[in-house]
Structures are given as structure tokens and as C-alpha cells.
Amino acid sequence: MPHLKKLAAILFSSFFVAPLAAQSLVIKPYYGYLLPRMSEVNDQIGRQIGLWRELLGEPVLSPGKIDGNNVFGAQVLHHFNDDYAVTLELSRYQEKIASDYFKPASSSERFLFKREVETYNLAVNLNYYFGYDEASRLNKYFGFGVGLLFAKANSVTLSSIVSDPKIGASLPAVDTRGEFSGNSITGALAGGLELRLVGSVSLWGEAGYRYAKIGQLDGTVRRIDDQQGAAFTTETSFDFSGFYFHAGLGIGLPF
């Protein structure tokens, strides 16, 4: 990881230290989609739901999987010359899944299972352009980047279904809530296209792969009558690595 941090420092410094006269800034807001590799987390969710079905003796529905959702972000791009440009980027991804089950003929007996993940990625990317021409209608580039990903995960498991008709056992009410967080260095490879519309305004699209494996997250779990919350480390490893696609506008400055 030291070499990635060193590279990030060099790219950050070059972005801000470059002479003002040589700067050509482009603001690039975008919408995108991320397909994270959360197989370990999804497997654990599947096992937990299966266990609750057995304990409650009820056909609790699956909450689904954390397998992809929208990304919103923006880049600030600076051209060093016709071949190279550097971007400073911030993006946000969030995904929620839930299973909310009420026992038939009962308005009070309920099972609620919610899981939520959220990330913020701050990155610096270096792009190489193939025959870049500011006056050209279409420009192509290949890029790589390094960044820092901040992740949060929240969980809620609530049950007021207290009896199991199969074994005649009584189950206590459950109300468990967890809050976890962590961060990791990220790396990305991507290719993109820029289509100039008019003046300094363009459309652009980019597809690539980002490595963002965080591992286990630290946090707290709060249960009924436990207002303090106990320190806890997640049982599964969180991996936000995956393919992504971004598309948006490019607005050159001065406009």
C-alpha cells in the first residue's frame, strides 16, 4: 500500500501545483451504476434468513441481495497537455435491502430484516488521451486511479413473533441494531469517450473496474435494554470491488 499512497500524493500535488496559466478545468457531474462483489455478505444474509424461517416457522421472504445500485458523483479535470489529464473525483453509492413480514391474522406479530450499505470514494485519476484534439468532436482515453473509500453498514433485525408451532417453543422479542464502518485504499482502471456538443460542453461516458476490498467492519450492536451498544466486528468481509459505468456532462471553465 505505501506505493499507492505515494502515487496518490504525487497526483494530488501535481493537480494543485500546476501553473494557473496552463490549467484547463472541466467540471464533470455524473450518474453511474456499480456492481459490487458482495458475495460473502449476501451468503451470510441468506443463511440468516434461512435460520429465522426455521425459528419462526413462517415463510419469511428473502430481502434480496446487495448486487448493484446507482452511483452519483463528480470529477474536476485538468489537462496538462494533449496527452494527459488528471481528475479529482468524489462519488457516493448506497444500497438497501429488506424483508418485512407480518404473521397472518395478526397486526402485532412482525419480523423485520433490513441491511444497508453506503460508500464515499475520493480518488485521483490519471487519463491518457489517444490523439486528443480540443476541437475534435470525439476524444478517447484510458485511465487509472487511486483513492480512499469510506464505507458504512447498518443492520436491523426485529421480531415480535414469539411462538414456533413446530416445537411449541416461545421465542423472546428481538430488536438488534448494528452500525459499522471502515475504509480502504482503492484502485481503478477505466476507458472513456468524450463527445463535444457545443462550445465547452460535452457528453462523456466511462466504464471500468474498481478494486475496493475493505474486509471486516468495526462498529457497535445495540439490543433490547442495551442503550450503550457493545463493540462488534462484522462476521463477514465487505468487498465493494466491481465493474462500474459513469455518464454525465463535461462543462469547461471558463464557460
The domains located in the chain, with CATH, are 2-15+22-253 (2.40.160.20)
Where does 45-83 show beta strands of DSSP type E? 69-79
pLDDT tens series, the chain, 255 aa: 555 455 455 455 554 444 433 347 999 999 999 999 999 999 999 999 999 998 888 899 999 999 999 999 999 999 988 899 999 999 999 999 999 998 887 667 899 999 999 999 999 999 999 988 877 899 999 999 999 999 999 999 999 887 655 555 667 888 999 999 999 999 999 999 999 998 889 999 999 999 999 999 999 999 887 767 789 999 999 999 999 999 999 998 876
Could you tell me the three cell numbers for 171? Answer: 421465542
Helix or strand (DSSP H, E) at 9: helix 2-17
Q: What pLDDT is stored for residue 228 in this prediction? A: 73
CA 57 and chain centroid, separation: 35
182: β partners? 151
How many other CB atoms sit within 10 Å of the CB of residue 233?
A: 12
H helices of the chain, where? Answer: 2-17, 39-56
Could you tell me the three cell numbers for 180? Answer: 459499522
- Rounded Cα distance between 250 and 240, Å, is 27
- Rounded Cα distance between 102 and 123, Å, is 44
Q: What pLDDT is stored for residue 161 in this prediction? A: 84
Q: Hey, CA dihedral for 54, 56, 59, 63, is it positive or negative?
A: negative
211: β partners? 187
- In this structure, the strands spanning 218-222 and 201-211 are unpaired
- What is residue 197's three-state secondary structure? strand
How many other CB atoms sit within 10 Å of the CB of residue 38?
A: 23
- Rounded Cα distance between 111 and 217, Å, is 25
